[in-house]
Structure 1
């Protein structure tokens, strides 16, 4: 892809776009966020069905609180946070909340446990995830010329899909690492829960670490979220979108 793009007069992904820190930081954040999300969704579903004995329908219903809380985070909370804190701090905070929420799920997972024990983690994870999903994608297009908004967000969407696949594979491999999956029979519930906890901890720590990285990479001022930003050297002088419009569109 890189070789072909470098030879085209009108590339699908102009290399200069990667010079925008907002875009590259958002792509990194989306990659890790999607990976932890996909991995933890699998771990959460496995716990509900294989440990607590939920049917597929009941396990699906157990996701409703997470969905509703995420919707709340993706709306006014995301817009207000960007206006007051800027994109960098908001993305970092959202990813930190995701890590904390996933971390809170870990002690709630136990053999013979209950769904209410998972609710604190679900609440924090849902708020962080809702904000992260909205802000990461709006940040990807912030400061990019209007005619290239589609390209910027396509890059972020691609990062989301690749991150989901990589994150799911990595976290499931970690969760299964201590299980005897040979011909000796099915693993015990205790060993399954142990694996789910380890996978959850890896997911949580990864989200926290990337929140620090995002905070260091993108130190934008809150005012940049409500007025056109000054572009960096690549693409200087082209019209840009404003942050408020971006966030409201994705909310």
Structure 2
């Protein structure tokens, strides 16, 4: 998927560019670009790199099927919850400084996670990784804007950055499989250590620090938003094992509602808010935000369940499982290269509709999977279809979010997209894991006839996965409805207040 902060012509949103009076250094432009691009690549890879390793992690550390989702969600929910905070801190304390500090936190947490001997320590390390990523990620594109001259140098840098960032999720699946198969699942975390240390050493030497801005930080908004999302995700993931009537589950839902309501109240009163609610006054922008959340929710579910299916049911090795996702990667990249031309011809709304339709079709296809399905007839086609749909969807959604945004809100608008992606992935996966766990438990309670324990385990998993894909299809069908009904075409630029 394309990096969320760029618009269709490759220029960054104006709100992300510092008002500088200097000409950026270009003497070491290749090194500067490499540092920035590799930083964001490392961060984006970690959203998916552990997916292929999940069966090995489960067997080694003793996770249950449903609690295993926290290996993914601990990273994404903290990352998403702190993204806007990380961007604001970067404005105040220095973007290069936050990139370096965030990378060091991320690297240290990666080392601790790789050494973890218990589920709790691994989950805690993944959460700290997310916090480090939230400090580093918002500064990456802004540092391109302030280290490369406007025009061809900046456009070239942004094109490399966007391609690298977009490749992260897909590369993570392949890299995770190769490392797990050839070394150990722990190396999907250890590999960050030398890369992170190199970034932390080189960034202060080559990247120019933009002028700091004096501004307040919306601490209350950050705390209520992040804690509210963690409580909501926790409540969903408790349901399969403890039921809807469990006291702690109910309490978590209530706490989540209170915290998220408090966040909305705070954002109407604090100045400057971490997420200006005026951004949602635009019908098109609100629809695009909602679709980013819905599409990412389904995508993370696909990664989570299909990565386990091809290993635990189809018997693929981790490396082969990683490469099994190549059709999605190739379909996405082949489509992304054509999207600028297609946008001029058909407009953002039609591409969003087409993308959501293809992704919905892919999930309908995946619902048909059984424990005896073959890769080429049951997995290859849906992955290719889903990849093409992703390629069609994300750049038009970015454009719709950024269309008509006032310069003072451009940074928050683009940061909001990244936040919706991370939170959508975390919350969507929590919901799908809840559906999976409930459906699997109902199947497991039935008599298994003459099936062997291994056959029955594969059957239970597949039945639960099918139910999860039904729920994912509902997400995507809703996204299709939003693209059809909510998004207006052509979008008329309108400045936010």
Q: Secondary structure at the match of 1:178?
A: helix
87, 92, 96: which one pairs with 2:353?
92
Q: How does 1:200-219 map to 2 (within 5 A)?
A: 200-219=469-488
Q: Does 1:231 align with 2:491?
A: no
269, 272, 296: which one pairs with 1:7?
269
The TM-score, its normalising length taken from structure 1, stands at: 0.81
1:33 paired residue number = 295
Report the Cα offset of residue 147 of structure 1: 4.3
111, 115, 119: which one pairs with 2:375?
115
What does the per-residue CA deviation read over 1:74-100, in whole Å, with 9 as the maximum and x for residues that have no partner? 221x22333233222321221111110
Q: What is the number of residues matched between the two proteins?
A: 225
Q: Does 1:105 align with 2:366?
A: yes
Once residues 161 and 209 of structure 1 are traced to their aligned partners in structure 2, the CA distance between those partners, rounded to angstroms, is: 19
Once residues 59 and 199 of structure 1 are traced to their aligned partners in structure 2, the CA distance between those partners, rounded to angstroms, is: 20
1:242 paired residue number = none
Answer yes or no: is the 8 Å Cα contact 1:36–1:203 preserved in 2. Answer: yes
Once residues 149 and 131 of structure 1 are traced to their aligned partners in structure 2, the CA distance between those partners, rounded to angstroms, is: 23
Q: Secondary structure at the match of 1:210?
A: helix
2:420 paired residue number = 159
Instruction: Flag the 1:138–1:50 CA change in 2: closer, same or farther, 3 A.
Output: same
Once residues 26 and 206 of structure 1 are traced to their aligned partners in structure 2, the CA distance between those partners, rounded to angstroms, is: 14
Once residues 105 and 116 of structure 1 are traced to their aligned partners in structure 2, the CA distance between those partners, rounded to angstroms, is: 12
Once residues 40 and 110 of structure 1 are traced to their aligned partners in structure 2, the CA distance between those partners, rounded to angstroms, is: 15
Name the stretch that deviates more: 52-61 or 205-214. Answer: 205-214
Once residues 28 and 19 of structure 1 are traced to their aligned partners in structure 2, the CA distance between those partners, rounded to angstroms, is: 13
- Could you say what the CA RMSD is over the residues aligned between the two structures, in angstroms? 2.2
Report the Cα offset of residue 30 of structure 1: 0.4
Q: Secondary structure at the match of 1:12?
A: coil
Q: How does 1:37-52 map to 2 (within 5 A)?
A: 37-52=299-314
Answer yes or no: is the 8 Å Cα contact 2:288–2:487 preserved in 1. Answer: no
Answer yes or no: is the 8 Å Cα contact 2:439–2:464 preserved in 1. Answer: yes
Once residues 429 and 271 of structure 2 are traced to their aligned partners in structure 1, the CA distance between those partners, rounded to angstroms, is: 37
Q: Secondary structure at the match of 2:440?
A: coil
What does the per-residue CA deviation read over 1:184-213, in whole Å, with 9 as the maximum and x for residues that have no partner? x77521222122122112212320232112
Answer yes or no: is the 8 Å Cα contact 2:330–2:384 preserved in 1. Answer: no
Answer yes or no: is the 8 Å Cα contact 1:100–1:208 preserved in 2. Answer: no
Once residues 357 and 287 of structure 2 are traced to their aligned partners in structure 1, the CA distance between those partners, rounded to angstroms, is: 15
Instruction: Flag the 1:198–1:14 CA change in 2: closer, same or farther, 3 A.
Output: closer
Higher normalized contact order (CA 8 Å, seq sep 6+, divided by chain length): 1
Instruction: Flag the 1:204–1:81 CA change in 2: closer, same or farther, 3 A.
Output: farther
Once residues 418 and 288 of structure 2 are traced to their aligned partners in structure 1, the CA distance between those partners, rounded to angstroms, is: 10
What does the per-residue CA deviation read over 1:102-152, in whole Å, with 9 as the maximum and x for residues that have no partner? 211222x22232211122212211100122222222321122124432211
Gaps of 5+ in 2: 1-220, 222-263, 446-452
1:124 paired residue number = 385
Q: Does 1:55 align with 2:283?
A: no
2:342 paired residue number = 81
Instruction: Flag the 1:130–1:230 CA change in 2: closer, same or farther, 3 A.
Output: closer
Once residues 286 and 466 of structure 2 are traced to their aligned partners in structure 1, the CA distance between those partners, rounded to angstroms, is: 31
Once residues 6 and 209 of structure 1 are traced to their aligned partners in structure 2, the CA distance between those partners, rounded to angstroms, is: 28
Once residues 11 and 174 of structure 1 are traced to their aligned partners in structure 2, the CA distance between those partners, rounded to angstroms, is: 35
Q: Secondary structure at the match of 1:188?
A: helix
Answer yes or no: is the 8 Å Cα contact 1:105–1:122 preserved in 2. Answer: no
Once residues 334 and 411 of structure 2 are traced to their aligned partners in structure 1, the CA distance between those partners, rounded to angstroms, is: 26
Name the stretch that deviates more: 3-12 or 143-152. Answer: 3-12
